[in-house]
């Protein structure tokens, strides 16, 4: 498997995360990139640095005002009274309270969903690099049949105009949009991160050319809480082109693999020109913030099933947090995928 990555990934490294009344160590650390890259290299996969293909493919998915804010807010931080070495707001727009203010602090609240995406000196460079890995990965998968984009920070909670859940730019959506443009056909996105891919769903919700399917822990009592239910099936032209499979917390390999099998059957019906897998590894039984109980063998089996679909496939890294099982599960997944192709 070819691994496409961008070394700028490490330039965003938030230390703390304000959650439920206290500051906790931020789970989405730069070390995730190093650990995953080094494990893939040690397992013999070919590591390629992404070329910089500019903002065009990112603009194809994201809102211009949001990109302008993300890319300039650090230089403009003096406009925020009392700002420190991290930009964060506690004021978030609501559906019924969403006028666009002119001040920077208010504009931040318009484009941020929660407190998990602090912006620091290197944040834009890191998320831009992570997106370049997805773009290069999409091109590579179209050329070679499959590839793995080592995207970090992750992307699937980012909407066209908002960050949230550790995500700023939606790497899987950017890759899928590029594959739609390149093939002129339909693209499917299968999201197996333990958290619902709400941003990806939102981006393609009204579209029929990108089928979005997510298998995740029930959001009734888990992030992202406000989306990810089974009755969300798309709108307008996109009706029937979004599928959610929420699972009870504590589910292990059996229900998770059954849901992936059903998702792959739905994807096969759509006959897509390409498949993007939003590959979170946080469904692991050992993940520090996961609530499913997937084993290493479960990840291997998922990889064989996905490879068995026989589609042009880009694997895009999403979540999966630091623990001994994280690099092991990546190596298991990539090895099983390669062996089954
Ligand atoms: C991002 B991805 C951590 C609380 C977590 C946000 C979760 C974002 C997950 N102690 N809240 O889907 O892995
Ligand atoms: Zn996740």
The pLDDT tens digits for 10-28 are: 999 999 888 888 889 999 9
Would you say the CB of residue 152 lies under 6 angstroms from ligand 1? no
Distance CA 233, CA 138 (A): 26
Residue 209: both structure tokens together: 């050319």
Band of pLDDT at residue 234, cut at 50, 70 and 90: very high
Q: How confident is the model at residue 313 (pLDDT cuts 50, 70, 90)?
A: very high
Tokens of 204: 């393609």
The distance of Cα 85 from the centroid of its chain, to the nearest Å, equals 26
How close is the Cα of 223 to the center of ligand 1, in Å? 7
> pLDDT tens across 201-219, in order?
999 999 999 999 999 999 9
**Domain CATH for 186:** 3.40.800.20
Domain residues for the domain of 207 are: 2-62+121-340
- Domain-located, residue 79: no
Q: 79 CA distance to ligand 2 centroid (A)? A: 33
Give residue 16's pLDDT.
Answer: 87
The answer to whether residue 217 sits within a structural domain is yes
The answer to pTM > 0.95 is yes
User: What pLDDT is attached to residue 117?
Assistant: 97
Residue 110 pLDDT exceeds 90: yes
Counting ligand 1 atoms within 8 A of each CB, the residue from 23, 24, 28, 116 with the most, and so the one to mutate, is 116
Could you tell me if residue 113 is inside a domain? Answer: no
Active site positions, annotated: 157
Ligand 2 center from residue 154 Cα (angstroms):
9
Average model confidence (pLDDT) across the chain: 97
Give the Å distance between the CA of 165 and the centre of ligand 1. 5
Asked if residue 91 belongs to a domain, the reply is no
Q: Is 282 close to ligand 1, i.e. is its CB under 6 Å away?
A: yes
Strands 22-25 and 16-19: antiparallel
Q: Is 216 in the pocket of ligand 1 (CB under 6 A)?
A: no
Domain count, the chain: 1
| pLDDT above 90 for 130 | yes
Residues 92-103 pLDDT 10s: 999 899 899 999
Closest alpha carbon to 157 in 81, 237, 222, 235: 222
| Residue closest by Cα to atom 3 of ligand 1 | 289
39-87: pLDDT as tens digits: 999 999 999 999 999 999 999 999 999 999 999 999 999 999 889 899 9
Residue 46, C-beta contacts closer than 8 angstroms, at least 6 positions apart: 1, 2, 3
Least confident range of 34-38, 94-98, 258-262, 287-291: 94-98
pLDDT of residue 13: 96
Q: Is residue 144 part of a domain?
A: yes
| Domain contains 257 | yes
C-beta of 193 in contact with ligand 1 (< 6 A): yes
Q: Range with the lowest mean pLDDT among 19-33, 131-145, 225-239?
A: 19-33
Reply yes or no: is the peptide bond before residue 224 cis, omega within 30 of 0: yes
How many C-beta neighbours within 10 Å does residue 54 have? 11
Task: Confirm whether 88 is domain-assigned.
Answer: no
Q: What's the ipTM?
A: 0.95
Residue 89 lies in a domain: no
């Amino acid at each position: 498997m070819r691994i496409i990555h961008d070394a700028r990934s490490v330039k965003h490294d938030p230390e703390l995360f304000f959650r439920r009344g206290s500051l906790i160590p931020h789970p989405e650390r730069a070390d995730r990139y190093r650990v995953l890259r080094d494990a893939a290299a040690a397992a013999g996969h070919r590591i390629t640095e992404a070329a910089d293909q500019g903002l065009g493919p990112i603009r194809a998915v994201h809102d211009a005002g949001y990109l302008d804010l993300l890319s300039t807010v650090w230089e403009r931080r003096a406009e925020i009274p009392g700002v420190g070495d991290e930009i964060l707001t506690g004021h978030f727009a609501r559906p019924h309270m969403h006028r666009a203010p002119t001040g920077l602090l208010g504009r931040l609240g318009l484009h941020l969903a929660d407190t998990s995406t602090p912006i620091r000196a290197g944040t834009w460079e890191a998320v831009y690099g992570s997106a370049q890995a997805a773009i290069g990965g999409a091109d590579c998968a179209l050329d070679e049949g499959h590839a793995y984009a080592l995207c970090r920070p992750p992307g699937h909670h980012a909407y066209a105009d908002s960050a949230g859940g550790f995500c700023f730019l939606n790497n899987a959506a950017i890759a899928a949009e590029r594959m739609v443009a390149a093939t002129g056909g339909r693209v499917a996105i299968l999201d197996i991160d333990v958290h619902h891919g709400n941003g990806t769903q939102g981006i393609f919700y009204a579209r029929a050319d990108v089928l979005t399917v997510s298998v995740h822990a029930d959001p009734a009592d888990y992030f992202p809480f406000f989306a990810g239910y089974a009755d969300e099936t798309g709108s307008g032209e996109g009706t029937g082109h979004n599928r959610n499979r929420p699972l009870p917390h504590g589910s292990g390999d059996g229900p998770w693999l059954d849901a992936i099998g059903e998702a792959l059957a739905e994807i096969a019906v759509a006959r897509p020109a390409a498949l993007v897998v939003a590959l979170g590894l946080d469904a692991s039984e050992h993940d520090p913030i996961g609530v499913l109980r997937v084993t290493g063998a479960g990840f291997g089996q998922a990889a064989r099933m996905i490879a068995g679909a026989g589609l042009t496939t880009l694997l895009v890294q999403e979540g999966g947090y630091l623990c001994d099982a994280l690099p092991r599960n990546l190596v298991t997944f990539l090895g099983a995928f390669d062996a089954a192709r």
